Each structure stands twice: as C-alpha cells, then as structure tokens.
Chains A and B, each alone.
Chain A
Amino acid sequence: MKVIAIASAGGHWIELLRLMPAFHGKNLVFISTDRSFGDSVPGHQFFDVPDASRWNKMRLIYMAFCVMLIIVRQRPKMIISTGAAPGLMGVIAGRLVGANTIWIDSIANVERISMSGKIALNFVHKFYTQWPHLSTSKIIYKGNVLT
C-alpha cells in the first residue's frame, strides 16, 4: 500500500520522522520543501516542492500545483501530514484522488490548533492533536511525538 508522508521543512518534518514506526512495511513516499532532507529518509522515494505560506498567494498556488502533480501521479492510498501549508495541500489533493487522509497537528500548537490544521479539519478522515486539552469529539489525542 502506498503512503505519502508530507511536511514542510523544519519542525514539521522532524515530527513526521518520529512517526516512522507507524509506516513500517508500507510503500512510503516523502514530500518536503527542502531537497537536502531527502538524506534523512534513505531508501525512500523523496520529492521536494517549493515552500509557501498563506501570506504569499502566488507561491501558494504554485506549491499546491506541485503537490497535486506528485499526488495525482503517485496515486497513494493514504496521505499523512504533520503540517503546515504543503501538508494541507497534500491532504486536500489526497481527498481528490480518493486517499485516506490523516493530520497530526504539530506539538508547537499548544494553545490552539494551527491555522492549516483548522482548514485541514474540514477535509481529513483523522485529526490528531498532541495536547490533551485541545482534544474534542473530532480531534483525537493519543500522546505526542516527544516520548
């Protein structure tokens, strides 16, 4: 089963890598925003896309297009993301190709769910927070990436 794991460079990516045991035995494809991060997932297919946030609309559209192209070509059964904007595009593209989608909001979002996460909440099948006080009927808490 093909799984796409997508996160922007930096903390989001580090958090994603800490979930690796969950992906064991899957045909895993990674997407991030820094080409050098491919080195941190040897043996796995890796694509880089331009980074963009919602404050730069043109770049955001270009990034969304790049993410979409990869996901349409790869046809994954599952998309999992730890954020941020590229991850949001990933789960939306995932829904369009009929994949199951999972969002894990970054542990950095302590007081409230992230902006990308709030939008993702409308699209994803499963939504996890890493803080118990942020869990609701739709938002699952099952511990965090720090243990």
Chain B
Amino acid sequence: MIFVTIGTQGPFDRLIRTVDRAAEYFDDPIVAQIATDGKYAPVNMKTSAFMPYSEFHEHFRKSRMIIAHAGMGTIINALVEYKPIIILPRLAKYGEQRNDHQWDTAKALEKLGYVHAAYDEDELFEKLKLFATTGLKPLHSIGEFAAGELITALRKDLNHHTALSDHPSFEMRST
C-alpha cells in the first residue's frame, strides 16, 4: 500500500493530482487522507478527508511508502516507523499554506539526508514514476524521543520549584 497524507491545513490539490496521475505506475493500492474543500477529485485512490489518530497510524504502519506534504508530524512518523517518504512542500503562492516554511523544512531535511523531496508537480511526477519501478528506500531512522540534551535541559527547567528567571528579557523586565 502507498499512503498519501496532506495534513489538516486544508486541501493540497497539486500533490493529490500528481499522485493520481502517477498512480498507473504503481501496482499497490493508494490510500489518501486528502482534507476537505479540494477542487481536484482523484479517481485512482481510496480517499478520506480526515483520519482519527488510530486509523492514521494503522495505514502508516501498513504502507511501504509515504507521499506527503512537508509537515513535521508526518515526517517524524515516517522516520520513527522507518518508512520511505517523499515530500512536496505546500506553498503560499498557491494558497496551500500561510507561508513557505514547508519549503525550508523540505530543503533542510533533504540536505540532512532524512527524506526524499520534490519541489514542483513535474519533479514529484518524475520521482514517483521512478520510485514506482525501483522502489524507495527509507533514508534515516530516529528513536522514540527527542535528543537527550534537550530532554535533560527541560527536566532541569521543570524541576525548578521557584520562578524560572534565566530568560534575559524576562529578568530585565522584572527588575
């Protein structure tokens, strides 16, 4: 199974349309979480607007490849489950997102060698066509929790029984 997810920030027709076009190259069924209000109605995939947490995870675990927007939730899930993922960032100029932070996320994580990324419909189509035949390998795996250093720092903050005052701007205001 191929699992497609575009998150909850509204429709992402460019991605759904491209996957729908590339569907003929895949032998496996495509299941997609596509949000509501999209103008494009896909025909080559099984769709639902929104999935509850448990259903989402079941699809995620069963799939052999994830095609997604550049949302951190989806990317983290793919890295934890060690699933190959290809992402297309949502862009503000198409009204897909309020800003272009997904572009930055995609660039940064691609550079780290964590994910496969495409930046427009043509590139996504060509990559999907290629991956449909060659298969796609997961690039990177992560554990269940955040970096130990971050956890340790937060634990220390949380164990403060008096008011934290390490934030310089806060100190300035309170004096």
Contacts and interface: CB of A to CB of B under 8 A. Distances in A.
Contacts of A98: 163
A100 B114 CA distance: 35
A24 B33 CA distance: 34
Given A111-B104, A125-B163, A55 B98 contact: yes
B133 interface: no
Contacts of B163: 98, 100, 125
Interface in A6-64: 9-15, 18-24, 26, 34, 36-37, 39-40, 53, 55
Nearest to A103: B167
Interface of A: 1, 3, 9-15, 18-24, 26, 34, 36-37, 39-40, 53, 55, 77-78, 80, 98, 100-102, 104, 106-111, 114, 121-122, 124-128, 131, 137-138, 140, 142-147
Given A10-B7, A142-B149, 6 more contacts: A3-B158, A10-B9, A20-B145, A102-B164, A125-B163, A128-B150
Interface of B: 7-9, 52-54, 71-77, 79, 98, 101-102, 104-105, 107-108, 114, 142-155, 157-158, 160-161, 163-170
A39 B55 CA distance: 12
Majority SS at the chain B contact face: helix
A12 B101 CA distance: 14
B145 A18 contact: yes
A107 B154 CA distance: 16
B118 to A, nearest CB: 18
12 contacts: A11-B71, A36-B52, A80-B158, A106-B72, A108-B71, A121-B169, A125-B167, A126-B164, A144-B147, A145-B147, A147-B143, A147-B145
B79 A146 contact: yes
A128 B9 CA distance: 25
B142 A80 contact: no
Contact of B151 (A3, A21, A107, A110): A21
A35 to B, nearest CB: 9
